[in-house]
A and B are shown apart, each in its own frame.
Chain A
Amino acid sequence: MTDISQSAAVPGTAPQRPAATLSARLARWLPRLVMAPSFLVVLIGVYLFIAWTLWISLSSSAMLPRYDFVGLEQYVRLWNTPRWHTAVINLFLFTGLFLGVTIALGLLMAILLDQNIRAEGVLRTVYLYPMALSFIVTGTAWKWVLNPELGVEKVVQSWGWDTFAFDWITRPETAIYCVVIAAVWQSTGFAMAIFLAGLRGIDSSIIKAAQIEGASLPRIYASIIVPLLRPAFLSVIVLLSYISIKSFDLVLALTNAGPGGSTEMPSTFMFAYTFQRNQMGVGAASAIMMLMTVAAIIIPYLYSELREDTHGH
């Protein structure tokens, strides 16, 4: 840009001036033109509807949107709904277990895979593969695996262990753990991949140094390597929490929020109240509650990431 304006200022180059400014103007506008459609779609499809949902949550909308203002009435009604309480409790239970088990298993698998074993590439692909499936497929497959009439219980009983019982999916107090099992199965490989990448970045002479100092392998991992994986932990925690808060398809395919609403999650609650139970206002309020929860996790993460970027790391 500066080059062009400078050359244009030189008297001898005056005839070139219109062409130069035209191409310069094009160069300036082309990126904006190319970006415009997607920007517009995101603006309307995401942010406009977030604003619209916020408005609906503050209105008395039921079956159809009604554009009035009733303050926080829908939020009060939401928090007085026992089913919403179940959803919130399930969310915390599910998130806690899902994160804990996925991280523990993923880290363990990454550490084991990092021991210079044979066929590592194949194993890595095998473990990562579930990530390529949609949650609908995972949910359907595990519905069959966990079904007492078709799956594990049936197989073990047919081997002769007649009293074997594994009917968690049919019991309201344990069904949520089935959702955890399926979600862990799908995401562990992903956590493993991130941890493995982190482990690969560690200078091997650090481990040698600790060995010479007499540290045992568990001690080396606990005192030196795992602390070094902090960025990997942060990424895994943020991404998995976000997956668990928006988990909708998995629950729908696996248990359809049942039995008896026992595996209700905020996302399924929102869907049911907005589109099936004609309580759009309550549904919108629950959606806004979810948005707040995600924002509470993502914003500090983005903030720390962006701050590191400006520090040139």
Chain B
Amino acid sequence: MATLDINRVRKAYGNLEVLKEVNISVGDGEFLVLLGPSGCGKSTLLNIIAGLEDITGGEVLIGNRVVNDLPPKDRDIAMVFQSYALYPTMTVRQNIEFGMKIRGIPAEERAKATNAAAEMLQMTGLLDRKPSQLSGGQRQRVAMGRAIVRHPDLFLFDEPLSNLDAKLRVDMRTEIKRLHQRLGTTIVYVTHDQIEAMTLATKVAVMKGGVVQHFGPPQEVYDRPANTYVARFVGSPAMNIIPGRLLASDGVPTVAFDTPQGEAVVRGVPLSAETAHRFAGRDVLVGIRPEHFGLDPCGTVPVGVDVVEPTGPDTLIVFAAGGTEVVARLEPFDAQVGRQERFSVKAEKVVLFDPATETRLD
């Protein structure tokens, strides 16, 4: 078990900078998720932590030990790959024991560790099969078993669930979470799936273009995204970013935006007095999560229903506001396209962004 500190890490291929001054620090036993679209540098960062790619600048510390120049095998890590990376010519047992064999662990101990891991992952019956005889989920289990027997300081997962079908992905997600709770080992997990990030992480680092956009606990990333990029990337449907304005107010921060049906006013958004004063009367971007709208005859947001999408537990209503399309997630009701409704907004959940920098206003 160990802490992980990434200090001002940079990585460049020639002139192409793929990581720019990345700073991340997690404590012992945390579950860090690196979240971002493909090409954002998250896998590169994971490979740097693993030692599979060398570092251009900065330092990586595992358990307060600088590992920049250590080869992967001396970093006390175990990695699970997207393609599972099982050795095709070996049986499951040989796959799991290969690393221990190299480290010179006696056969008896190897067998014991393998059996324990197999039991934990419920694959005792698979030990004598070849990887080609296993399903995707079973291969994933073997890859995890191979990582577990190492008892590493740090587990690295590189998009481990992307090759599985939707149903299995949910099951394996739960399994990974259970594994983390049971072993308590620090985990770094790379994914582009924001739901995986939300469900698994104790800390999320949202990345884009080699820069960490937001680093914090998942709930914080969800509730108070650092900028509009994070706001749009995390959550499904994404947070609505509506161009509006901050009213010169009497001490209660109030925003307004236009809908074709009239002006919508939201009183009491969270904003410090200083920022409220500075932005009074200016344009702002109003961030509202779809579930923070409510159907309310006395609501302050006049709405013309454009599209109705019932999902079962909720009904999604698409309407126009501030020149963009806005989605509201409401309890199912008898929604009619073209009808006018009034929505209320949970003002305390509204996030404001500076239109110039697109960063959050506090």
Q: Among A5-13, A66-74, A204-212, A242-250, which stretch is in contact with chain B?
A: A204-212
B73 & A214 in contact (Cβ 8 Å cutoff)? yes
Contact indicator per residue, chain B 58-88, by CB within 8 Å of chain A (1) or not (0): 0000000000000111000111011101111
Assess whether B236 is interfacial by the CB under 8 Å rule.
no
Assess whether A105 is interfacial by the CB under 8 Å rule.
no
CA distance A219 to B73 in the complex (A): 14
Tell me the smallest distance from the CB of B62 to a CB of chain A, in Å.
Answer: 13
Tell me the smallest distance from the CB of B154 to a CB of chain A, in Å.
Answer: 11
Q: Among B95-103, B202-210, B225-233, B317-325, which stretch is in contact with chain A?
A: B95-103
The closest CB in chain A to the CB of B51 belongs to A212
How many residues of A are counted as interface, with CB atoms below 8 angstroms from the partner's CB atoms?
Answer: 17
A228 & B99 in contact (Cβ 8 Å cutoff)? no
Tell me the smallest distance from the CB of A230 to a CB of chain B, in Å.
Answer: 8
Tell me the smallest distance from the CB of B228 to a CB of chain A, in Å.
Answer: 35
B89 & A208 in contact (Cβ 8 Å cutoff)? no
Which residues of chain B come closer than 8 Å to A219, judged between CB atoms?
Answer: 102
A213 & B82 in contact (Cβ 8 Å cutoff)? no
Which residues of chain B come closer than 8 Å to A209, judged between CB atoms?
Answer: 79, 81, 85, 87, 146
A205 & B83 in contact (Cβ 8 Å cutoff)? yes
The closest CB in chain A to the CB of B87 belongs to A224
A205 & B82 in contact (Cβ 8 Å cutoff)? yes
Contact indicator per residue, chain A 195-225, by CB within 8 Å of chain B (1) or not (0): 0000000010110111111110001000110
Which residues of chain A come closer than 8 Å to B158, judged between CB atoms?
Answer: 205
A206 & B87 in contact (Cβ 8 Å cutoff)? yes
Beyond A224-B87, A228-B89, whether A212 also contacts B82 by CB under 8 A is: no
B89 & A227 in contact (Cβ 8 Å cutoff)? yes
B83 & A212 in contact (Cβ 8 Å cutoff)? no
Assess whether B40 is interfacial by the CB under 8 Å rule.
no
CA distance A90 to B52 in the complex (A): 50
B103 & A214 in contact (Cβ 8 Å cutoff)? yes
B98 CB contact (under 8 Å) in A203, A211, A213? A213
B85 CB contact (under 8 Å) in A206, A214, A227, A228? A206
Of A214, A227, A228, most B-chain CB atoms within 10 Å: A214
CA distance A223 to B97 in the complex (A): 13
Tell me the smallest distance from the CB of A202 to a CB of chain B, in Å.
Answer: 9
B102 & A205 in contact (Cβ 8 Å cutoff)? no
A205 & B150 in contact (Cβ 8 Å cutoff)? no
CA distance A175 to B322 in the complex (A): 91
Tell me the smallest distance from the CB of A207 to a CB of chain B, in Å.
Answer: 8
Tell me the smallest distance from the CB of A298 to a CB of chain B, in Å.
Answer: 25
The closest CB in chain A to the CB of B89 belongs to A227
B85 & A223 in contact (Cβ 8 Å cutoff)? no
A210 CB contact (under 8 Å) in B77, B82, B87, B150? B87
CA distance A58 to B190 in the complex (A): 74
Tell me the smallest distance from the CB of A231 to a CB of chain B, in Å.
Answer: 11
Which residues of chain A come closer than 8 Å to B1, judged between CB atoms?
Answer: none
A213 CB contact (under 8 Å) in B52, B73, B89? B73
Beyond A213-B73, A224-B87, A224-B89, whether A208 also contacts B102 by CB under 8 A is: no
Beyond A205-B82, A205-B83, A219-B102, whether A211 also contacts B52 by CB under 8 A is: yes
Which residues of chain A come closer than 8 Å to B71, judged between CB atoms?
Answer: 211
Of B78, B86, B98, B150, most A-chain CB atoms within 10 Å: B98
Beyond A224-B87, A227-B89, whether A214 also contacts B81 by CB under 8 A is: no
A203 CB contact (under 8 Å) in B52, B85, B146? B85
B85 & A211 in contact (Cβ 8 Å cutoff)? no
CA distance A209 to B71 in the complex (A): 13
The closest CB in chain B to the CB of A203 belongs to B83
Which residues of chain A come closer than 8 Å to B90, judged between CB atoms?
Answer: 224
Which residues of chain B come closer than 8 Å to A210, judged between CB atoms?
Answer: 87, 98
Assess whether B50 is interfacial by the CB under 8 Å rule.
yes
The closest CB in chain A to the CB of B94 belongs to A223
A214 & B52 in contact (Cβ 8 Å cutoff)? no
CA distance A35 to B103 in the complex (A): 61
B73 & A212 in contact (Cβ 8 Å cutoff)? yes
The closest CB in chain A to the CB of B77 belongs to A212
Contact indicator per residue, chain A 220-240, by CB within 8 Å of chain B (1) or not (0): 000110011010000000000
Tell me the smallest distance from the CB of A226 to a CB of chain B, in Å.
Answer: 9
CA distance A309 to B246 in the complex (A): 70
CA distance A224 to B150 in the complex (A): 19
CA distance A203 to B72 in the complex (A): 18
B52 & A208 in contact (Cβ 8 Å cutoff)? yes
- Which residues of A approach B to under 8 Å, CB–CB? 203, 205-206, 208-215, 219, 223-224, 227-228, 230
Listed A/B pairs (18) with beta-carbon separation below 8 Å: A205-B82, A205-B85, A205-B158, A206-B87, A206-B88, A208-B52, A208-B81, A209-B79, A209-B146, A211-B73, A212-B73, A212-B77, A212-B78, A213-B98, A215-B99, A224-B87, A224-B90, A227-B89
13 further interface pairs, Cβ-Cβ under 8 Å (given A205-B85, A209-B79, A223-B87): A208-B50, A208-B85, A209-B87, A211-B73, A212-B77, A213-B99, A213-B102, A213-B150, A214-B73, A215-B98, A219-B102, A227-B89, A228-B88
**Closest 10 A-B residue pairs measured CB to CB?**
A213-B99, A214-B73, A209-B85, A205-B85, A227-B89, A205-B81, A212-B72, A206-B85, A214-B102, A224-B87
